[in-house]
Chains A and B, each alone.
Chain A
Amino acid sequence: MHRRFLTFATAALTAAALTACTAGKESAPALGTQSKPSGSASLPATALELWHGFSAPAEVKAFEDAIAGFRQKFPQITVKLVKGVQDDQITQAVRGGKAPDVASSFTTDNVAQWCKSGTFQDLTQVIRQDGIDLSVLPEASRSYTEFEGRRCVMPLLADAYGLYYNKALMKGSQPPKTLSELTELTKKLTVRDADGTIKVAGFIPSFEYYENTASHLAPMVGAKWYNPDGTSAIGSDPAWKQLLRWQKELVDWYGYDKLDKFRKSLGQEWSADHPFYKGKVAMVLDGEWRNAMIANEAGSLDYGTAPLPVADDKPELYGSGFTAGTVIGVPKGAKNPQAAWELVKYLTTDTTALVTLSNALRNVPTTKASLESPDLKKDENFQTFIDIFGHPKTSTVPSSVNSSFNQEAIQEFMHQWEKGSVKDLDAGLAGVDKRVNDKLKLSGG
């Protein structure tokens, strides 16, 4: 009897110890459970900690400047900024019961998982309480900040992707509007040595080249990621095949080995040796932030920007592109959730804050008012990305609990395809579907 009791007690204690660590700690009331404060002065004096991913001195200063307005509005609230924080640090902090009051992330890949698991608090109720009209945000921005009806983060600043072209290398040609025009112009602008070695590339179609990722290229052909039930649509949507076949034709025209050798000879994406600055590539796919980098690193470069070319049979897509961006929210277990929400609300809806951040970081501000603000610094090249961001067909990678995994799965397949290792495109894409769907099952989707 004594031995049985000991065995039972040991098993019970072990089970309790194992399961106890699965529940995250929550030390403060959740957002929306308290009554709404009547005004800014009604919030008690408190100190907030905000974690963000920016690390360059200019970026950190921009964040400080953007928060200055909040400090004026809520003098009783002090805000401490913690720079250079990555997503896994946020997850671990929440898991360990040491969550900051506010946290932001550069990418949108973890939003679905954060919403699903409750890592970030649902903002729906406080948004409703404060009468915030989310229709001022483009649909894509709304979609990458929520998952299954749970809005757990807000968009802070956005990125949009388009085409940069070197005016001198273009020799008067207009930027291409369709994929066949892009192919034609690429062939015209490419310069080779007698032995076929590439000296200047019109456009590098390699999926391994800098920003030529599946997610950035998919909007060019309107390719879908998921079926309505969350399973992969990559194998069944003909748009992916259209993109891959167009790409392979251009890679083969260059010759894979020659293109690969040329690609590997180019400078780093984040250095002043970027091949676009050096006139080695005439057209590149890139984000709006490249404008700021060009101004800093290659001020004399004569360049233009345009929307990405689209599939020949889908001209209605022209002007759209890929968008995603920085997100910000109130983690589970935040010590001062109501004050934290005020800070999130200020940073994501206050026009002055958004314009200050945008002007400093040269990212696209997310609300309609900030986009139309006379204080927003715009030039022709930046305007291109504002237009892409606002285009009704502009899209993003829809939220999924396996967002990173799924993008990696197609990306990995694209590398194989580009090399010529894939003999049967349909079977290969079906294999990608299988990987994505198997993982979805494992994740309980």
Chain B
Amino acid sequence: MSITHAAPPRRWRGEGRKALLWMSPWLIGFAVFFVYPLAATVYFSFHRYDLFTLEFVGLDNYRYFFHDDRAWISIRNTLWLVVFMVPAQVLFGLAVAQLLTRLKAGAGFFRTVFYLPSLVPLVAGTVSFVFLMNPSGPLNQIIDLFGITAPDWFGDKDWAKPGLTLLAMWGIGNTMMIFLAALLDVPKHLYEAAAIDGAGGWRQFRSITLPTISPVLMFSTVTGVIYALQYFTQAMIASRVAAGVTDSPGSAFVPGYPELSTLTLPQWLFHAGFRDFSMGYACVLALLLFAASMIFTLVLLRRFRAFTDDEGGSR
């Protein structure tokens, strides 16, 4: 038995065309800036491509990936940043914002102080931070005053990623400002009602503040995760400064100093494409990064939806 569909009325087809026409600027942009680059990346991932010559190699680039230890190390490091750096950054940003809402005097001054680091250019900020935290630098001298042996932040593989996390927390200005705006937007009467009902500070935070700012929390977490998956500049600069490398002849720079502990997936991708001229393989890594970003974003969106539903309000 065959199923036949009736053709849409002529009037609807005409309106469909009109809708397409109005949507065309967006559709063209979508095709040029999203579909085409993605299709090109998939296409090149099946080729040996040194930016000039192209040769079809089938799945060779994908097979190489499974034997590339550095790719797996870079994935582990990137995941570490997602799991530890993003929560640290979000929680610290939220804590600072919460603190600033309570300030009676000097709020403007402290808002400026906490926001300022995010205005510092990434490279300059990273270089300064590495010097600040070098083994004999000011931070370690302060730690030493308390009788604690300070770590070699960017020279020890166990401390390099926590060092980068501290750097990220130092630059939470933008996140903090978004949280501050959201916190100031929470209706005061809800707190007053909760206080009358005998709710303490923590209970008020959990039952009023968190659900109210959850869209902002979700935004910060999702953008934080995407940012962590694309983490490049700070890791690259910090490792180069800490290693004291040179570009003199015969001085190949091993990325991820110390001992590959700061090698992130985007760095390895860049290295494969622009240092080793293996653009086809770099496309495989780019696709992996794209897939990871999509999965993380979808999972987070689902989790947040479940969280807001649990709290009794779907947004």
Residues of A within 8 A of B (CB): 14, 17-19, 21-24, 88, 91, 95, 106-109, 113, 116-119, 159, 161, 208, 210-211, 213-216, 264-265, 268-270, 287, 289, 322, 324-325, 396-397, 401-405, 407-408, 411-412, 415-416, 435, 438-439, 441-444
Q: Contacts A95-B52, A208-B243, A415-B254 known; A117 to B135 CB distance under 8 Å?
A: no
Check B248–A95 contact: CB distance below 8 A.
no
* CB-contacts of B34-69 with A (<8 A): 36, 39-40, 43-44, 48-55, 57, 60-61, 64, 67, 69
Quick check: is B253 within 8 A (CB to CB) of the other chain? yes
Check A113–B50 contact: CB distance below 8 A.
yes
* CB-contacts of B248-279 with A (<8 A): 248-255, 259-260, 274-278
* B contact residues around A324 at 8 Å (CB): 249-250
* A110, closest chain B residue (CB): B277
* CB-contacts of B130-176 with A (<8 A): 135-136, 152, 155
Quick check: is B101 within 8 A (CB to CB) of the other chain? no
Q: Which of A213, A264, A289 contacts B252 (CB 8 A)?
A: A213
Give the CA-CA distance A211 to B245 in the complex, in Å.
Answer: 9
Q: Contacts A107-B247, A269-B246 known; A408 to B50 CB distance under 8 Å?
A: no
Check B277–A88 contact: CB distance below 8 A.
no
The tally of CB-CB contacts under 8 A between chains A and B is 118
Q: Which of A14, A106, A208 contacts B249 (CB 8 A)?
A: A106
- CB B158 to nearest CB in A, in angstroms, measures 13
* B135, closest chain A residue (CB): A264
Give the CA-CA distance A18 to B47 in the complex, in Å.
Answer: 12
Quick check: is B179 within 8 A (CB to CB) of the other chain? no
* B contact residues around A441 at 8 Å (CB): 60
* B249, closest chain A residue (CB): A324
Give the CA-CA distance A173 to B148 in the complex, in Å.
Answer: 43
Check A438–B244 contact: CB distance below 8 A.
no
* A contact residues around B248 at 8 Å (CB): 106-107, 159, 211, 287, 289
Check B50–A411 contact: CB distance below 8 A.
no
New A-B contacts (8) at CB < 8 Å, excluding given A117-B51, A264-B155 = A88-B274, A88-B275, A117-B52, A211-B246, A289-B248, A322-B250, A401-B277, A444-B48
* A contact residues around B53 at 8 Å (CB): 22, 117-118
Check A405–B276 contact: CB distance below 8 A.
yes
Q: Contacts A268-B244, A415-B259 known; A216 to B277 CB distance under 8 Å?
A: no
Chain B contact surface mostly: loop
Check A265–B136 contact: CB distance below 8 A.
yes
One digit per residue, 1 when the CB lies within 8 angstroms of any chain A CB and 0 when it does not, for chain B 56-85 equals 010011001001010000000000000000
Task: Give the number of residues in B that approach A within 8 Å (Cβ atoms).
Answer: 43
* A contact residues around B246 at 8 Å (CB): 210-211, 269-270
Give the CA-CA distance A19 to B53 in the complex, in Å.
Answer: 10
Q: Which of A18, A408, A439 contacts B253 (CB 8 A)?
A: A408
Check A116–B276 contact: CB distance below 8 A.
no
Check A119–B278 contact: CB distance below 8 A.
no
* A contact residues around B155 at 8 Å (CB): 264
Give the CA-CA distance A117 to B48 in the complex, in Å.
Answer: 12
Residues of B within 8 A of A (CB): 36, 39-40, 43-44, 48-55, 57, 60-61, 64, 67, 69, 135-136, 152, 155, 243-244, 246-255, 259-260, 274-278, 281
Give the CA-CA distance A376 to B241 in the complex, in Å.
Answer: 36
Give the CA-CA distance A415 to B243 in the complex, in Å.
Answer: 12
* B281, closest chain A residue (CB): A442
* A161, closest chain B residue (CB): B250
Q: Which of A88, A95, A211, A443 contacts B278 (CB 8 A)?
A: A443
- CB A308 to nearest CB in B, in angstroms, measures 13
Give the CA-CA distance A439 to B251 in the complex, in Å.
Answer: 20
Check A91–B43 contact: CB distance below 8 A.
no
- CB A417 to nearest CB in B, in angstroms, measures 12
* B contact residues around A403 at 8 Å (CB): 252
* B248, closest chain A residue (CB): A287
Check B67–A116 contact: CB distance below 8 A.
no
Check B278–A442 contact: CB distance below 8 A.
yes
Q: Contacts A159-B248, A216-B250, A397-B250 known; A18 to B51 CB distance under 8 Å?
A: no
- CB B156 to nearest CB in A, in angstroms, measures 10
Check B64–A438 contact: CB distance below 8 A.
yes
Give the CA-CA distance A119 to B50 in the complex, in Å.
Answer: 10
* A17, closest chain B residue (CB): B36
Q: List 11 A-B contacts (CB under 8 A).
A: A18-B39, A22-B53, A113-B277, A116-B50, A117-B52, A159-B248, A213-B250, A396-B250, A441-B60, A443-B276, A444-B55
Check B260–A210 contact: CB distance below 8 A.
no
* B contact residues around A14 at 8 Å (CB): 39
* A286, closest chain B residue (CB): B248
Most buried by B among A17, A287, A408: A408
